[in-house]
Structure 1
Amino acid sequence: MLETRAVDDVADVLRDEITSGRFAAGSRLPPERQLAARFEVNRGTVRAALSRLAAEGLLSVRQGSGYQVRDYRRSGTLDLLPALVVGRTKEEQLEVARDLLAVRRQLATLVLERLFALEVDALAPIEDAVAAFTVAAGSGDVARVAAADLDVLAALLAATRSPVLQLCASPVANVLAELPELRDAIYAEPATNVVAYRALLAALAAPPSERPPAASIANLLAARDASTLTRLAS
């Protein structure tokens, strides 16, 4: 039976080497036997790790030709983003964080535009999620706050009735919550999130003609993201 920890370790090292450019796109990895000797594991463990990386879009496999490195920027998924942050320089981490937050703002604007254009007739799930977030915000537990924030997002996305927005926004939010340093910077002042969510609830409860433009809320998000990046850089 393969040791899961050993498979994880081999996959983590090779993933980092691929995303950092040590193994360039189009190049071939060393044969399994060489990798097994390098990591001091059996070939079954190496094969399991390589299969995982292939499933992540990092490698392609051709019978008799071994494993070829793919361009992860074209074939990878959002699940690779943590690998682009862990172990990188502060400047590289900030660049990834800046882009992630910008994508989140754009998606948030689309969600708000959709919600403000609808007659949201079922605010209860959103209200319940915001209430739970308010409790979490006072707990001092950042992981709990992040989880509660994801629940608010899920309720907002469900209200849009748009599977496209749900499929696009949820992975970005999940990645943000999984990066400890970025998560801590985002939720350093959760009370401000509570204020923003209450204002959003009030806007959704108002008639469409009285709701603020989605862009105005996006500007507030931009200011908060700037503060987050400042905390990360310090």
Structure 2
Amino acid sequence: MQRRINEIEEEDEEGYGRTSLETVRESPFEGSSGTVSLSGEDNVYVGVGKGDSSMGALRWALDNLIPSSSTLLFLIHVFPETHFIPYPLGRLAREQASQEQLDAFMSQEREKRRTLLNKFLQTCSASKVKVETILVESDSVAKAIQDLTTILNIKKLVLGIDKSNARKAKSLKGNSVAEQIMRSSAAETCEVKVICQGKVIEIEKPATQRSPSKPSIQLQPKKDQSSDSFAWFCLSKPKTTS
């Protein structure tokens, strides 16, 4: 599996396809280098998270949407914004925590993300597929992914859904991430595949076409990088001036 050097650094270059937690590092995305095309027509994007359905979605994408070795696959992982940090007597607002407390908590969260994403990277490695990771900090998973489809002009998106939510989706009673995206303007410009237990399921789209909404967040490199986690692209709310 080919990788950008700023995403995964191999301790042993001879060990092709091996990924270890210790060698996955977080560093700024070199967007001007020209080495990666985020909006390529053949790029495939897969939403991944803690649920088992994410792995099913990834495996389906690897089996069905990777036509050649030149296809680039992006793993999208949305994690919540940090508003509070754990404290022995409860929770502290982020603004009230000391820098030492905040750094310790953020380090733990990066470790959790690295552990979570490593299993997906290993699956891509076994298939010898070129892969990048996009980590998005947002309290709304569906809105973050919807905005990302607009920002990056995503054409192929794969999402997993569990059996329980799939049943609700067919009866139009659910509100899963996959359903929200399928019923948003993103589904009008992007081919979205929703996977449940290895099969594509149909989710009804809006009866009328919606005009694309303007993204509330923008893509930019993250500046305060640590040396012990994934390389990632940061989505953040644009600053406004009065």
Normalising TM by the smaller chain, what interval? under 0.3
Q: Which has the higher contact order (CA 8 A, sep 6+)?
A: 2
For the pair shown, the structure with the greater C-alpha radius of gyration is: 1
Normalised by the length of structure 1, the TM-score is: 0.26
Normalised by the length of structure 2, the TM-score is: 0.26
